[in-house]
Structure 1
Amino acid sequence: MWSALFSFVNIVAIAAWLVLAAAPRTPLVYSVILYLGVALLCLVYTVFFALVTTGQLDPAASPGAGQPGFGSLAEVQAIFQSQGGALIGWTHYLAFDLFVGLWISRDADAKGFGRLIQLPFLFATFMAGPIGLFAWLIVRERAARRTAKGQV
């Protein structure tokens, strides 16, 4: 079951990223990415987060893993000791990175950055979320200042 769910969330995320990178940026496309991509990943995360963290499904009960929780690094590590915990963690990354990629694309479009300029930031966000976001925040700063001054 966990392998099938892992494949499912990966397919959803990759499909949404491909649409974001290649499809025309219309309101319909943005809605598809937001609701059939981000929201669907959030739904999967919500359901399995509740089931795993309450111990109803695949509790993180590996010998010596400790009590799962969020109060210490050891408690967070205990969550990821199970396949269910790893799946919810991975789905969390996929959902938030896709949401950030969606924001980057909209922000870049609004500031006049072409698709080819956006692609490295989107790819970096897809592969290593905070790195792509950090790089975009650095690059967008000058464009944001120009836009604020009306020098577009």
Structure 2
Amino acid sequence: MGTEAASSGTHRVRDVVRDVVAVAAPEELPLVDGFVRLDDASVVRRLRRSGRRREPLGFGWGEVVALATPVVWLVLDEAAKAAAGAVVDGAANGLKGLWRRVVRKKSSDVIVPPLTVEQLDHLRQQLVEAATQQGWEREAAQGIADQVVDRLQRRTRDDSDGTSTTA
């Protein structure tokens, strides 16, 4: 196993979040769909804001933390940036620019590159920890973490016929 890629390809964070939320918490789809007009950096900033000021989402931070969307989005965002940074840092200078172009299909999209089995295990642990810190039951936290990892391992139609299963 070692450093073999366990995920089947690159995935936009927003697509993974939407797919997981559609299964795990479909009542949150309006929240996820509301983020469509924003770039990923803006979404992360909004999800990280403290509850001291009025939230643009129409409710306070206390309500947001109980949701799946912020937990999944924020942890995936950090994992994607860490994984992409590790690849860029380890690449030769000539490959750095190429990797950046691949990772930034659109400059505002955060992309999860192919992850190794070890990276997926670490991501799963991060998701469980983040969710339980927000008051989730451990079993529910493990369930959502498993869904995220399963989604990252799933081959998309992009890999086989040039079309995408995600928007």
Q: TM-score, normalised by structure 2?
A: 0.29
Larger Cα Rg: Structure 1 or Structure 2? 1
Higher relative helix content: 1
User: Normalising by structure 1, what TM-score?
Assistant: 0.31
